[in-house]
Amino acid sequence: MSRDASRHALNWSAEFAELAYACAAADAGQAGALIAAACRLLGSDTDGHDALLAAGGADAAALRLVEARAGYMLSHGIGGSHVATVVLDGQGAETSAEGASAALALLGALAAALAGLGSDPAHGALRPAPGAGLRLN
């Protein structure tokens, strides 16, 4: 891999790591902007996502991003927290994230998986400080 390609891969991974943490820290109202950011990073057409978001369908827009790339499992606790687990196509490792909405949990898990945060135990150091209230599993 050339130096430029290696640098691009590191930047791409870092941008997805930042997106994963942003999803963990965001409130449900920020899902649309974060989905748009993910579309830009993935080079995805935003037209379908924009229509879903305009209709209040952030969960559906996030599912549209995830379903094209990964298997997923979504859960919702009594206290209102959402947890999503994704497995990227062709990989066996699961990556999970928590969010204020189903959309944020799904997007956070996808972003963490694409950043490689779920595949290397050494990345545990990237977790927020204890008590910060943010969690990528």
pLDDT in tens, the chain (137 residues): 565 555 555 688 899 999 999 999 999 999 999 999 999 998 877 778 888 888 889 999 999 999 988 999 999 988 888 999 999 988 888 999 999 999 999 999 999 999 987 644 444 333 333 444 555 55
Residue type, 5: A
CB 72 within 8 A of CB 83: no
The single residue listed with the structure tokens 């791409």 is: 12
128: phi then psi, degrees, rounded to nearest 5:
-65, 160
Spatial CA neighbour of 86 closest among 78, 75, 76: 75
